[in-house]
Amino acid sequence: MSSPHNESSYNEEELPELPLQLVGLDGWHRAHSAIMGESAGYDMPLHYGDSAAELDWTRRHAAFADISHMGQISLTGDGVGEALAKAAGFSSVAMGVGQIVSVAVRDEEEELESSLLVQHRAEDVYLLASAADKYDVSAWLFGALPDDATITLMDEQALLLLTGPMATDALAQLVPGSEKIAFAQGAAFGWQGHSLWISRTGGQGQDAYEISLSDEAATGFAKALCAVEGVKLVGLNAVAGLNRGAAYHA
């Protein structure tokens, strides 16, 4: 029989709430008077004063939002792309470098049902998972991939969203050549000595670019992006208003 001193029983109501996680640009958002709120366990900028005005701007111009709470995952190892394709039930045979494929992941035992964006890059397989599911997806990957696969949750990597009808022209002013990225493709670029991975997605008539870069580079890039004519900083409420919120806002 176990000693009473070794037994621990907790009432769920007595468990302390975990503090919200912060993204690398947290201080920058607060300096810009962001109204912060919880999103998938993170303290994120929901808006900067007027969600409706931000949504209207996003639909007509170019809007920049921080979505760094999302799950950026890097997979490396021999045959890791093929192993992922087999586990998730899709074909990777025709996937070129940078091509984006949307993959549904289901695991009834773990009660996981999620969608991933999958891209083969020169050095790894890059996944983008929703903020709410990224830890469950990581756990699923550990069980689904070979033991010699390396799975890295890129928590020190920022992810910035630029969307709207003027997004392509705005981004090209900072990153020449980015306008040549085809829809559902990604490509590597450099900016002031920093590495960027830019993925072009979108929907409902809205161009959208997800820009992955180091936390170290994110503040400077955010400042430069907001200085481009036609670009406005918006919160997650505006992003959710475009019906893209299932991935970005949760």
User: Among 153, 183, 215, where does a domain finish?
Assistant: 153
Cα–Cα separations (whole angstroms), residue 26 to 5, 66, 218, 219, 228: 42, 10, 11, 10, 21
Distances (CA, A) of 105 to 5, 68, 102, 131: 43, 21, 10, 15
Q: Say if residues 68 and 154 touch (Cβ distance below 8 Å).
A: no
* Domains: count for the chain: 2
Co-location of 126 and 195 in the same domain? no
Residue 63 lies in a domain: yes
Last residue of a domain, one of 153, 182, 197: 153
Contacts of 95 (CB under 8 A, 6+ apart): 81, 101, 118, 120
Phi/psi at 86 (nearest 5 deg)?
-65, -45
pLDDT at 199: 96
Do residues 115 and 229 both lie within one domain?
no
What is the reported pLDDT for 115?
87
Last-in-domain residue among 105, 131, 153: 153
Per-residue buried b or exposed e for 25-35, using 16+ beta carbons within 10 Å of the residue's own CB: bbebbeeeebe
CATH number, domain at 78?
3.30.70.1400
100 lies in a domain? yes
Block means of pLDDT (10 residues each) for the chain, 250 residues, are 39 67 96 96 96 94 96 95 88 77 78 84 94 91 93 95 95 97 95 97 79 97 96 94 54
* Global confidence as pTM: 0.88
Same structural domain, 204 and 192: yes
Query: 226 near 35, Cβ under 8 Å?
Result: no
Provide the pairing of β-strand 42-47 with 35-39: antiparallel
Q: What is the pLDDT of residue 5?
A: 37
Q: For residue 230, what are the domain limits?
A: 26-70+155-248
